[in-house]
Structure 1
Amino acid sequence: MPRDADLYEEAGGNALEGYFLVKAGKKNIPPSWFERMQESRRQRHEAVAHALQAGDWGAMPVLRDWQEAYQKECFYYGVRVLLELDRQGKSNW
């Protein structure tokens, strides 16, 4: 997964920049990445729910970790949509 995280970092979290990097052939997003990414974020849900319900502000690292995973997921979905629009003229997302 570090290879994919590089795309997010290099694009500064901007899906359009990520799209251009992928199109330039500098980066790749394996199809299985989306499933792993979503599963990884969902594995954090229990800890996030406990932190929110307890009002535990000491759990901010848990909440920030979830937020970062969510932002990366949105980034990669954005890149995927742009790639589908480019290739097929439409997207199912």
Structure 2
Amino acid sequence: MKTVEEIRILLHKNKLRLHQEISQSKEAMHLIRKSTHSKLTFEEKEKIKIQLLDICKSIPALAVFLLPGGALLLPLLIKLIPDILPSAFQDNPKNE
């Protein structure tokens, strides 16, 4: 029973992280649209840069996950290369 509760907690944490990542992506898209008709501030440009880097980080993780056995390989790869995950999924105090 303890394992079931741990899985529920992990699913809830990842749901919150996914929601955060989607919100950041929406904000980035809004800023990109805004940039077509007005100048962006330095802070806005930095937000777009960070979000585009997050998107680029998620592509290799998705590719590994899609490989045969990728669901087992991805956690090992994350241990070796923790920066492969988007910022919302990295374990640090600001995301908890």
TM-score interval for Structure 1 and Structure 2 normalised by the shorter chain: 0.3 to 0.5
TM-score w.r.t. length of structure 1: 0.42
Q: TM-score, normalised by structure 2?
A: 0.41
> Greater RCO between the two (CA within 8 Å, min separation 6)?
1
Q: Higher Cα Rg: structure 1 or 2?
A: 2
